[in-house]
Structures are given as structure tokens and as C-alpha cells.
Structure 1
Amino acid sequence: MVYIIFLCLTIPMLLMLPLLEIRSRCIVGFMLLGTVTALSAYEINTIVYPVTGLSARSFSELVPPMTEELLKAMPVLLYAVLLDDRRNRVLPIAMAVGVGFAILENSMILIDNVGAVTVLWATARGFSASLMHGLCTVVAGTGITYVKKQKKLFYTGTFGLLSISITMHALFNLLIQSDYDYIGIAMPLVLYGLICWLYKGQRVRLPF
């Protein structure tokens, strides 16, 4: 079923690519890469889950944050290191990868729980999990635009950025499955608002 969903989502976007301008094509292309990373993460997590012996809840708090954030970060880091490390270029494509990932993941969860989901669930999921995936990738992507220029910090800095993304993701998964799920829902919204306030309003001069 996951491959059927993947094809239904990606084929229309692929057919649209030739009609788009270069910048729009880049954004949509990285959204497609995001869906590919979601499919890859699904396969990896499916293989690893039985081996760990963990409960579904414990597994979701420990393993997927690592596999998913590493996979999402790869295309963004490669773009920043090999092609263009300007923040105004990296930030949109990082968000696009995260959103593309969330689109496929949300669709899979919807199909698996079609009898239980509601409009409220879809709204909360769209504003929380989708933003969380995007923001975690943005942290790694925009951060690399700074550490790339600091040769002594490149490897440790990249590891640190990935660690932040993984920790954010794990914390979200922990909260969303607890009695404090409302904090988990609010966390990505607050972070998104803060990032928009800092970047657009230029309240703080960031080094990257």
C-alpha cells in the first residue's frame, strides 16, 4: 500500500516539473526527494523494528528520529556542500524535503487508521508533525551553511546539527504520545513562529 500512495503522490509532481521555472522546479524536486526519504525510512524502520524487541511506543521514540533525520538531512547537506551554501537557497529546500517527507508519512498513517481519524486529527497532524519534520531538516540545512565555512567545526558541527534535529524529533514523539500531547502539538508551531520572527524581522543577526 505504501508504494501505491508513493506513486499516486509523486507521479503528478514529476509530470509538473518540466512546466515549472528553475527555482520552483528545485523546490518541488526536493519535495519529491522528501517523499523518497520517507519511503526509505519506512522500509528501514520496518526491518529494524522486529530486531530491537522494543514496544511500538519505545521504538518510535528511539529509532525513527535517527533514521528519519539522517535520511532527510542527506540531500540538503549534499546540496549545501556541493552546490550552493547560501542561506536563502538552503532554507527553502530544507523545508521542502521535510514537508515532502511529512506528506507521505501523513498519508500512510491516514490509510492505516482510516476508520479512526477525524478532521481535527488531520489539522493537528498537519500543523504539528509536518512542521516538525520541516523544522528539523531546516536546523541541519541552515546550520551547515555556517559550519561549512568553519573548517575546524565542519565534522563536529555537522554531528551537532544532526544531534539537535534527532533530539527535537525524539522529544516531539515522546510528548505527542504522552499526557502532554498538547505541548508536542504546540512545540513546532512556537518554533516556526520564532524562526519566522528572527529571519524575516531580522531581530537577531545570525551567523549563517
Structure 2
Amino acid sequence: MIYAENVLICIAVPLAITLLFTKGSARRLTASFLVGMIVCIVSAYISGYVQVLSDFSAEDTSIFLSPMIEECMKLLSMLFCVYVSNPSDDEIQLCAVGIGAGFATFENCCFILSSGAPQLANVLVRGAAVGVMHIVTLVALAKGMQLLKTYKAFSLAGIAGVLSLSVTVHGLYNLLVSKPGVSSYIGYVMPMICAIMLYMINGKTNQ
């Protein structure tokens, strides 16, 4: 048994101190990383509470509840960034990457500390699949928010549409990897494929 709060303190405190000595994009990325870790632990609290209330199994919670809860929490953190600081498109993406990386890193650390890492394959799956998936969904969220901002369509309907995309990708990944077999292998490679596609789209939009 581990205490996630203790892990958060050990990682977050050194990063928080670096904010005193950095400026600009470096500080924004570090702050976003910290926010991602906090979002991760708060999402875990909410998912656990909802699981008890709904009497869902751990697997059903992972497939049906966690994607909605986690992506909603990520979206709230992104909306806070947009409405408070009115960032540019590049700054929105930087915040998304930082929050996604912080979320994935903290989740992976807690998983490895609680379950161990006896096999390299399991570690690779956690890093290259689960970790990448959290970054991919947030970058997709950022791209959607950039489009809403560009076309001045920042409304509840637009935000709900962007959120539905990230929830669908997250839920599909959890569903595919929930059972061993061909579907799980498809799920493991899906985040990396999505990351490559988003990278290519990002490269074209920056030209």
C-alpha cells in the first residue's frame, strides 16, 4: 500500500521550487506539470467516491466512469488557463502538454510503486501506452479549444463537443485493454498512432 499524497509531495515540492528560478515557457510548462499531477490525484479521489456510490466494479469504473471524470477535470484545468490568462494557441498547447505529462507521470509512478515492475514489458506499456494516451487526449482538447477560439465559437456546445472527443478516445482505450488478446494490442498501439497523427497535424498548422 502506498500513500499517493506522499508521492505527490516528493515530486511536486522540488518542481514548485524551480518556479522561483524559471521564467516564460519553462515556468508555464513546469506549472502545468504540477497542475497535471494535482488533477490526477483529485480525479482518483472522485472516481473512488463515485465507484462506492454506484457499486460499480473496478473494471466497470475504469471503462465507464474514469474517462468522463478524468477528462472533465483536465478540461476544467484547461478552461481555467484560457479564461484567466487568455493564452495564445502555442501557450494553450504548452499547457495541455504539461498537464498531460504531469497526469501520466504521477499515475505511472503510483501504479509502479503499488504494483511493482517485475517485467519490462509492463513498464513499456505503462509509459508508451497509458502515459501517451493522457497526453494525446489533452493535445486533442487543446486543438479543439484552439479551433473554438479561432472561429469565436467558445460556447457550452462547442466545449461539450471537444470534451466528447477526448472522453471517447480515453474510454475506447480503456475498453480495448480491459481484456487480453488482439483488442488489447490494438489499444496499446492506439495512443502512439494518435500522437504521430497529432504531431503531423501540428506540423502542418505551424507551416
- TM-score of the aligned structures, taking structure 1 as reference length: 0.90
Task: Tell me the secondary structure at the aligned position of residue 155 of structure 2.
Answer: helix
Task: Tell me the secondary structure at the aligned position of residue 129 of structure 2.
Answer: helix
1:162 maps onto 2:163 in alignment? yes
Unaligned runs of 5+ in 1: none
Aligned pairs, number: 202
Equivalent positions of 1:38-117 (< 5 A) are: 38-114=40-116, 117=118
Unaligned runs of 5+ in 2: none
Deviation at 1:56, TM superposition (A): 1.3
Q: 2: distance between equivalents of 1:47 and 1:30?
A: 26
Q: 1: distance between equivalents of 2:59 and 2:41?
A: 20
Q: 1:125 to 1:119 in 2, by over 3 A?
A: same
Q: 2: distance between equivalents of 1:87 and 1:140?
A: 12
The two structures, once aligned, show a CA RMSD in angstroms of 1.7
Cα deviation, 1:137-184, whole Å, max 9, x if unaligned, reads: 112222112213445562211000101111111001011112211111
CA contact (8 A) 1:98 1:137 kept: yes
Q: What is the match of residue 190 of structure 1?
A: 193
CA contact (8 A) 1:110 1:117 kept: no
Q: 1: distance between equivalents of 2:85 and 2:145?
A: 13
Q: 1:47 to 1:121 in 2, by over 3 A?
A: same
Cα deviation, 1:24-60, whole Å, max 9, x if unaligned, reads: 0100000000000011011111211122122211111
Higher mean C-alpha deviation, range 191-200 or range 150-159: 150-159
* Aligned residue identity for 1:25: R
Percent identity, aligned pairs only, is 24
- TM-score of the aligned structures, taking structure 2 as reference length: 0.91
* Aligned residue identity for 2:66: P
Q: 2: distance between equivalents of 1:182 and 1:92?
A: 30
Q: 1:92 to 1:117 in 2, by over 3 A?
A: farther
Q: 2: distance between equivalents of 1:148 and 1:122?
A: 38
